[in-house]
């Protein structure tokens, strides 16, 4: 059987888009190249001196893993030279980066989490690179500003992730469904393995760090009880699965259905909005979820309609099968209206 490469797939999308200039395809091409470089290093991680922490604390107040810093460097180095970007924002950098003057400027903005789930990397658990692509809003002869980057999820031009696991995968959407590709290491190409992915409407699995139970409010506890009890559409408890690597937990839900949750907790007043970042985690994954027929909420509002005020804004996230996400929103909305 002849297999479709990701480049062919992108070119097909390009021909379907009126006025397409090929710049977007070029952007993807470089992104894929960066991911292949990261993937290759990930495969040998246990043999290189690249596991463990660098000793630095990032803008999120978290330990920077050596592989985090490495993936960030690879992505920035490759992507600032594409000629189609005007700015890059990474989970690892406090501020967004303007494309240096010596390189050609473009109209797109790339936001990424270079290595999501990296606290798992030392134990050889799946991690990934999550990305979001936006188009700048201000005129191209003006200096790019933070306002160009603080866009709500509905405005994304494309989003997706690379998953580094037993095989390396690319899952992406340009607003025309969700497509999954698997890297064939023997030829170095991503081949279409999961066309038109659809999340099952009803899941059977819930995924949350239940160790934080005592730090949740009553509404959140009721949400979790909904999935653990038998007064749910299954009439029995859901199975629990939590890898602790968002991109891997999300990917399981995308393929098999279910819900991933990272609610607000009161462990630390600084994290009163939850842990996950809107621009580089919640928004791109919500775009993928919706494009695959699933849903994503912060509890009361659709993730894609939220407007971020800060580059590293955090947000609670409930994402996956439509029925399960709607059940969560129903519980939070009911609690909210009785409290009012
Ligand atoms: P990590 O800190 O390892 O990068 O994005 C942050 C994230 O991982 C998610 O990938 C993961 O789902 C979550 O944090 C795990 O957080 P907890 O350890 O608090 O459960």
Ligand 1 centre and the CA of 246: distance in Å? 6
Residues 6, 170 contacting (CB under 8 angstroms): yes
The residue whose C-alpha atom lies closest to atom 15 belonging to ligand 1 is: 244
Residues 299, 261 contacting (CB under 8 angstroms): no
Answer whether 276 contacts ligand 1 (Cβ < 6 A): yes
How much is the average pLDDT of 264-279? 84
Residue 187: name the closest of 3, 1, 320 by CA.
3
Q: For a pLDDT cut of 90, what percent of the chain falls above it?
A: 76
78-112 residue pLDDT tens? 999 999 999 999 999 999 999 999 999 999 999 99
Residue 117 backbone class (left: φ over 0; alpha: ψ -120 to 50; beta: rest): left
Answer whether 116 contacts ligand 1 (Cβ < 6 A): yes
Answer whether 209 contacts ligand 1 (Cβ < 6 A): yes
How much is the average pLDDT of 71-80? 97
Answer whether 275 contacts ligand 1 (Cβ < 6 A): yes
Ligand 1 centre and the CA of 276: distance in Å? 8
Atom of ligand 1 nearest to the CA of 68: 4
Ligand 1 centre and the CA of 229: distance in Å? 26
Answer whether 107 contacts ligand 1 (Cβ < 6 A): no
> In b/e form, how buried is each residue of 74-91, taking b as 16+ CB within 10 angstroms?
bbbebbbebebbbbbbbb
Answer whether 298 contacts ligand 1 (Cβ < 6 A): no
* Residue 27: per-residue pLDDT: 93
* Residue 48: per-residue pLDDT: 67
> Residue 140: pLDDT band by 50, 70, 90 thresholds?
confident
Token look-up 């998953």 returns 163
How much is the average pLDDT of 304-317? 97
Q: For a pLDDT cut of 70, what percent of the chain falls above it?
A: 94
The residue whose C-alpha atom lies closest to atom 1 belonging to ligand 1 is: 117
Answer whether 274 contacts ligand 1 (Cβ < 6 A): no
Q: Any alpha helices (H) in the chain, and if so which ranges?
A: 6-16, 23-43, 66-79, 146-149, 218-228, 246-256, 283-291, 322-339
Ligand 1 centre and the CA of 244: distance in Å? 5
The residue whose C-alpha atom lies closest to atom 18 belonging to ligand 1 is: 244
For ligand 1, mutation pick of 92, 244, 264, 266 (most atoms within 8 Å of CB)? 244
226-261 residue pLDDT tens? 999 999 999 999 999 999 999 999 999 999 999 999
Tell me: pLDDT of 60 over 70: no
The residue whose C-alpha atom lies closest to atom 12 belonging to ligand 1 is: 246
What is the distance between the terminal CA atoms of the chain, rounded to a whole angstrom?
Answer: 60
Instruction: Give dist(CA 152, CA 304) in Å, integer.
Output: 6
The residue whose C-alpha atom lies closest to atom 6 belonging to ligand 1 is: 117
Residues 289, 319 contacting (CB under 8 angstroms): yes
Answer whether 63 contacts ligand 1 (Cβ < 6 A): no
How would DSSP label each residue in 37-96? HHHHHHHTGGGTTT-SEEEEE-TTSSEEEHHHHHHHHHHHHHHTTSSSEEEEEETT-SS-
Instruction: Give dist(CA 136, CA 120) in Å, integer.
Output: 34
The residue whose C-alpha atom lies closest to atom 3 belonging to ligand 1 is: 117
Answer whether 117 contacts ligand 1 (Cβ < 6 A): yes
Instruction: Give dist(CA 90, CA 11) in Å, integer.
Output: 27
In the chain, % helix, strand, coil (3-state, to 5) comes to 40, 25, 40
Ligand 1 centre and the CA of 224: distance in Å? 19
The residue whose C-alpha atom lies closest to atom 7 belonging to ligand 1 is: 117
């Amino acid at each position: 059987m002849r297999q479709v490469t990701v480049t062919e797939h992108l070119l097909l999308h390009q021909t379907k888009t009126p006025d397409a200039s090929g710049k977007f395809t070029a952007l993807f091409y470089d992104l894929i190249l960066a991911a292949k470089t990261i993937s290759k290093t990930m495969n040998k991680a246990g043999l290189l001196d690249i596991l463990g922490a660098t000793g630095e604390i990032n803008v999120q107040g978290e330990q920077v893993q050596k592989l985090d810093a490495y993936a960030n460097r690879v992505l920035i180095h490759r992507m600032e030279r594409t000629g189609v970007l005007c700015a890059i924002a990474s989970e690892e950098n406090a501020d967004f980066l303007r494309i240096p003057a010596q390189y050609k400027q473009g109209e797109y903005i790339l936001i990424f989490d270079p290595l999501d789930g990296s606290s798992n990397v030392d134990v050889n658990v799946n991690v990934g690179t999550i990305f979001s692509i936006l188009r700048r809003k201000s005129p191209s002869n003006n200096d790019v500003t933070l306002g160009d980057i603080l866009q709500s999820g509905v405005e994304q031009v494309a989003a997706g992730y690379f998953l580094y696991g037993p095989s390396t995968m690319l899952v992406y959407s340009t607003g025309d469904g969700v497509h999954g590709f698997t890297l064939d290491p023997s030829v170095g190409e991503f081949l279409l393995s999961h066309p038109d992915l659809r999340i099952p409407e009803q899941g059977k699995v819930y995924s949350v760090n239940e160790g934080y139970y005592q730090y949740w409010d009553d509404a959140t506890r009721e949400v979790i009880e909904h999935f653990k009890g038998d007064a749910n559409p299954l009439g029995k408890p859901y199975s629990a699965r939590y890898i602790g690597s968002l991109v891997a937990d999300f990917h399981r839900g995308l393929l098999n259905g279910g819900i991933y949750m990272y609610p607000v907790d009161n462990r630390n007043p600084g994290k009163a909005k939850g842990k996950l970042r809107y621009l580089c985690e919640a928004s791109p994954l919500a775009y993928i979820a919706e494009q695959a027929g699933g849903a994503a909420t912060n509890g009361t509002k659709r993730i894609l309609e939220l407007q971020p005020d800060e580059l590293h804004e955090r947000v609670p996230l409930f994402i996956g099968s439509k029925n399960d996400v709607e059940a969560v929103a129903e519980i939070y909305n009911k609690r909210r209206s009785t409290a009012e």
